Amino acid sequence: MNDVSKYLTVTALTRYIKYKIDNDENLRLVFLKGEISNFKEHTTGHLYFSVKDETSKINAIMFSSNAKKIGFKITDGMKVLIVGRISVYEATGNYQIYVDEMMEDGIGNLYLEFEKLKKKLSEEGLFDKEKKKPIPKFPEKIGIVTASTGAAIKDIISTIKRRYPICKTYLFPSLVQGENAADDIVNKISTAQLYDLDILIIGRGGGSIEDLWPFNEEKVARAIFSSKIPTISAVGHEIDFTIADFVADLRAPTPTGAAEMAVPNITDVVKHINNLNIRINESINTKINYQKLKVDSLRNSFILKNPMLIYENKKQKLDLLFENLNKNIFINLSNKRLLIDNFKNNYIIKNPNILYEKQKDKLLNIIQKLELVNPLSILKKGYTLTYKENKLIKSVKDINKDEIIKIKLHDGLITSKVIDKE
């Protein structure tokens, strides 16, 4: 009976079970829904938790590589949908689910609802920029619609007190989660309208998407939209927007943020007023000094100080004109005189006989030239002209022996007979 070889080691048994489970088709890809408990995030980023329902529980591990892809904050009690595989961790002998993907249960429906409402209200113009009321810079009374307990109201009031202690606050305590929250919020928003408020902050602290759901409801959106008081939404969730955020006049990421946006810092306001005080004094002084300077400069103006100058100036001008007049007449006169003198001194007029002399010279000249060409003048030198019957003889051939010729000298005629010719 004591055949030791029959006994298995723990390791062997565990390995066998692990082998069986790992090879089961149905356990390789498991879709699981349940509620998270014992949630722990290890420093390595791996997530350790259990998934349970009313009667059962399974351990779960999600490695950091997959955990990084989760788009929401995991808390105990959260209902989730999980995709993973089942295997055994040999060291503890525990079977567990190795989670590949995890999403919030119900979120799918809520998300669709949210998108549908957002589209509808957006088309109706509830989110339009032009419809947003301006937030007063220096509110004196601020209304707050939120729970009377919890971090949100504390954060808002203490922030306002720290920044702008002169501001009064009016809390309209409201449910902020659960079935009746939306109706209560709507009621409180409408009650707040009866008070003379400058700003209305509507919000709550952070929470799961279900917790924040009242702020995604249509009636809340419409109540915020119809508020006469400028609204600031303050739903504590940094990442996603709620419908209330879209419809409010201003959206703050947290209740503290809402209080910071609602009131200025009192020291800044004091500084601002001091600054305005300095500016207005400077500008009025500049203005007065400028006017003073203007009056002074008028009073000291040369002309007002020396009124005689007005007369003297005119007189001087007159003198100048008179002088110019005299000068011009004289110049005109002397010019004319000069012209007359010029005529008088003209050479021709002074020597009129020169005109005659010139003509006489010219005539003599002509006479002389005529003299030169007169054939008779050659005769004076001893040359003669020979005529036969009044015809000038130029060759011996024209003349015969015994013919009568006439020889002309400068002072007379010789009648001769040709004795011979050669």
Partner 1 sequence: MTKEKKFEEKMEELENIVNELENGNTDLDDSINKYTKAMQLIKECDEKLKNVEEQVNKIVLENGEIKDFNIEE
Interface ranges with partner 1 (CB under 8 A): 136-140, 148, 153-154, 157-158, 160-161, 165-173, 191-192, 195, 198, 266, 269-270, 273, 276-277, 279-280, 283-284, 287-288, 291
> 158 or 384, CB closer to partner 1?
158
Identify the burial level of 197 via C-beta atoms within 10 angstroms of its C-beta, where 0-12 means exposed, 13-18 middle and 19 or more buried.
buried
- C-beta of 129: minimal distance to partner 1 in Å? 22
- C-beta of 202: minimal distance to partner 1 in Å? 14
- C-beta of 232: minimal distance to partner 1 in Å? 16
Q: In angstroms, how far apart are the furthest CA atoms of the chain?
A: 219
For residue 312, CA distances in Å to 217, 320, 392 come to 93, 12, 107
- C-beta of 296: minimal distance to partner 1 in Å? 15
> 267 or 400, CB closer to partner 1?
267
- C-beta of 248: minimal distance to partner 1 in Å? 20
On whether the CB atoms of residues 387 and 408 are closer than 8 A, the answer is yes
- Sheet (strand 412-417) strand order: 391-392, 385-388, 404-409, 412-417
- C-beta of 254: minimal distance to partner 1 in Å? 16
> 51 or 156, CB closer to partner 1?
156
**Torsion angle defined by CA atoms of residues 65, 66, 68 and 69, in that order, rounded to the nearest 10 degrees:** 140
> 276 or 392, CB closer to partner 1?
276
> 76 or 296, CB closer to partner 1?
296
Which H or E run contains 262? helix 255-262
> 161 or 360, CB closer to partner 1?
161
Write the CB contacts of 276 (distance below 8 Å, at least 6 apart in sequence).
none
- Orientation of helix 218-226 relative to helix 107-124, angle to 10°: 30
| Whole-angstrom distance, CA of residue 374 vs CA of residue 352 | 35
- Orientation of helix 181-192 relative to helix 218-226, angle to 10°: 10
